[in-house]
Amino acid sequence: MKKNTKDGEKMLLTDISSAIAREMGVKLFQVEATIKLLDDSNTVPFIARYRKEATGELDEEQIRTVQERLSYLRNLVKRQEEILSTIEEQGKLTPELAAAITACTKLQDLEDLYLPYRPKKRTRAQIAKEKGLQPLADIIMAQQLQTGSPAEAATPFINPEKEIATPEEALAGAADIIAETISERADIRALLRRHLWSSAEISTEFAVDESQAKEVLNYKEYHEPVNRMPSHRILAVNRGETKNLLKVHLTTAHDDNIDRIAREFITGSSIFSELIRAAIADGYKRLLFPALEREVRNQLTENAEKQAIRVFGLNLRQLLLQQPLAGHTVMGLDPGYRTGCKMAVVGPTGTVLETSTLYLTMSETQKQKAADTVLTAIQKHGITLVAIGNGTASYETEEFTAQLINAHNLPVHYVITNEAGASVYSASKLAKDELPDLDVSIRGAVSIARRVQDPLAELVKIDPKSIGVGQYQHDVNQKELTGTLTSVVESAVNHVGVELNTASPALLQYVAGINAAVAKNIVAFRDANGSFKNRKQLLKVPRLGPAAYTQCAGFLRLQASDNPLDNTPVHPESYALAQNLLEKLGYTVDSLSSKDQLKSIQQQAQQADVTKLAAEAGAGEPTVRDILAALVKPGRDPREDLPAPLTRKNVVKLSDIKPGTIVRGTVHNVIDFGVFVDIGIKINGLIHRSELASKPFRHPLDIVSVGDILDVLVISVDEERGRIGLSLKQVPKQ
């Protein structure tokens, strides 16, 4: 491998690009262009949206895959160089070993090759080598002696000065060398690793008395093949082990494994056959199997965590992209028993208009007083929607709201809102800065109301891990989880776009090219100078230079700009092209401000020959296509295409739910074993994966997503345990 030369680096980059292109099934130029753009500090959302010609229209997920694999392979190359250098310094680097190391494409294979040369504590084998017993180990492994005894062969190695008093001690030392040498062989580790992955099982037993193990009762004397164990069970077993409730083992046929290794080394009928087998057995039990057991368990956990993080990310994205119920004056209700139900009325732009505390579960007098307060607020502020948190006392609050709506025939609907994270937000510094005059308990009601008006703008203020749409999120690698969820939020924010004149710092910091400090500077500039008039003004914001402007400008919208293109996803670098395209269609930029002309532009754009327009303008077809789509609907919110949240007027009780009933609900969470659906009562129903679809599928996310509105069939109700079983596949097709 060439090192420290420009030619070597160039060759290396090509090798990495080729490897990634093969893995992903895309063209080499796409990967090379993406790597160059990433190395030039371009963000993933920017590359996906505004550099489609360069990348051959790779989507955001593909670009992130390139980014991840690039990091992995560059680390691999760095590790290869470190290992080559270390072994070379030891004077043990052969051309064959160097070739094997440079041919590795996986870190695991690389570390297997390095294992015999890795500096380590003094082992039994190293002590035996220091006593001069390596030649005896070589004689034994050569297996050429057919007569005599092992003791006779070991006699010349007796050396009292080196604490070898008998032939047996010499043989024991040589066996230690053989045990370690075989257990560190890369090919043997690979052989046994494959076998364990194909045939071993995870088994568990209680580590405590059964009365203390209620949390893990499902795992009493449990066993399952490692190659079929789903991620949620791996994480559940790990949690039981971490809590000292379970003992977990990797079970396999140890004698068969020892025989499998022995067949690779024992040849003919040498006098050393039994000794070699005993050394192999010792190395297997003492060194090889414990290491591979840890490795398999770690790999199972890593795979399970990746799956859990992936599912969490997909659920979070769907939650963030739920359609906003814009234009409503919303009453947010944060239910509670002893401390009362907190009420906050929020105007269409998120302004807090009124707050109060209602006591709905105490005396009839207090309940009537609460009804009067709510009724007055509805009439005074023109409230059209009530958002009720789904926590403690949610059912009683819903019942109160439904009765009030029906008793007074109010033109109001209510929606049950997932309040996960509201209390976290309420106590945060951000909430104190935004709502300094409100009590911490009231801030939760404000958050509940605002997350109905614009889920994305409100939920970005909360740590994604607190939003409650994952599984085992506290058991997985927190650094990887945080990184993935941050990318998901960033992707969602840039997909939707952000109104520059109303966005909070919490929202702005997720826009491509903008960090937390620059987000605060944008808001400070806006406060000091008034609303932004156009995107170009961003260049006056401290620490927002040309590079950051290039990354962020296309994702920031200005509804009241003096340039209508500022309210579209068209990037400023393409304004001239957009003007050119409008002129070819017979319009000007100002035409975008006219509703009548917009309809005509829409018709013309849909009928336009994109290939011809791109050729005439000297531009790429993807960019022309995107510009035409943006010109058709300035200010369009892509969330408009998604189903609106399900609103209600009447309360549903658990006792009303009977098997055989078809109910409508909203998907609340999607996990490996099924889907939780909010059907308008205190507890969510579960559609087990076996009841999702008649056709085969890999994961419930292939069938439904968070926020989907479904008609489902009730198949079981367990009031005592508070469980409702639902079916999607049994609902009659209309």
Distance, in Å, from the CA atom of 283 to the CA atom of 173, rounded to the nearest integer, reads 13
Task: Give the number of other CB atoms < 10 A from CB of residue 473.
Answer: 20
Q: What are the φ and ψ backbone dihedral angles of 544, each rounded to 5 degrees?
A: -110, 90
Q: What is the pLDDT of residue 642?
A: 61
Q: Which residues of the chain have pLDDT under 50?
A: 1-11
| Residue 703, Cβ density class (10 Å: 0-12 exposed, 13-18 middle, ≥19 buried) | buried
Check if CATH label 1.10.3500.10 holds for domain 136-309. Answer: yes
Compute CA 555 distance to the chain's CA centroid, rounded to the nearest angstrom: 23
Quick check: helix, strand or coil at residue 354? Answer: strand
CB 415 within 8 A of CB 388: yes
**What pLDDT score does 7 carry?**
39
**CATH classification of 15-117 is 3.40.640.10, yes or no?**
no
Q: What is the pTM of this model?
A: 0.85
Report angle CA 672, 677, 680 to the nearest 5 degrees.
Answer: 165
The Cβ-side half-sphere exposure at 624, using a 13 Å CA radius, reads 21
Residue 248's alpha-carbon distances to 132, 135, 166, 245, 476, in angstroms, are 41, 41, 42, 10, 18
Q: Long-range contacts of range 727-733, CB-CB < 8 Å, 24 or more positions apart?
A: 727/687, 727/691, 728/675, 728/687, 728/691, 728/692, 728/693, 728/703, 728/704, 729/691, 729/692, 729/693, 729/694, 730/691, 731/662
d(CA 523, CA 544): 12
136-309 and 330-462 in the same fold: no
What does the angle CA 483 – CA 488 – CA 491 come to, to the nearest 5 degrees?
Answer: 125
* CATH of range 654-727; options 2.40.40.20, 2.40.50.140, 3.40.50.720, 3.40.630.30: 2.40.50.140
What residue ranges do the domains of the chain occupy? 15-117, 136-309, 330-462, 654-727
- Nearest 5°: CA angle at 565, between 559 and 566? 45
Q: What does the alpha-carbon distance between residue 325 and residue 406 come to, in Å, rounded to a whole number? A: 22
| Residues found in the chain | 734
Q: Residue 389 burial by CB count (10 A; 0-12/13-18/19+): exposed, middle or buried?
A: buried
d(CA 146, CA 287): 30
Q: Which one, of 328, 358, 323, lies nearest residue 344 by Cα?
A: 358
Among the residues of 200-344, which ranges form H helices?
231-242, 254-262, 273-283, 289-320
CA nearest to 535, candidates 555, 515, 510, 507: 555
Nearest-CA neighbor of 341 among 324, 355, 327?
355
Strands (E), 661-730: 662-671, 674-678, 685-688, 709-718, 723-727
Please report the pLDDT score of residue 644 as a whole number.
66
Secondary structure letter of residue 57 according to DSSP? S
Q: Is 300 exposed, middle or buried (0-12, 13-18, 19+ CB in 10 A)?
A: buried
What is the pLDDT, as a whole number, of residue 275?
97
Q: How do residues 464-481 score in pLDDT, each as one tens digit?
A: 888 877 778 888 999 999
Question: What CA–CA distances, in Å, run from 558 to 419, 494, 498, 635?
Answer: 31, 15, 9, 8
CB of 145 within 8 A of CB of 272? yes
Q: Would you state the pLDDT for residue 652?
A: 62
Tracing tokens 């993807």 back to the chain, one arrives at 622
Pairing label, strands 674-678, 201-206 = unpaired
**Architecture of the structural domain at 330-462:** 2-Layer Sandwich (3.30)
Please name the amino acid found at residue 370: A
Kindly tell me the burial class for residue 229, based on how many C-beta atoms sit within 10 Å of its own C-beta (0-12, 13-18, 19 or more).
middle
CB 139, CB 145: distance < 8 Å: yes
Q: What residues are paired with 723 via a beta bridge?
A: 718
Name which of 134, 78, 46 is nearest 491 in CA terms: 46
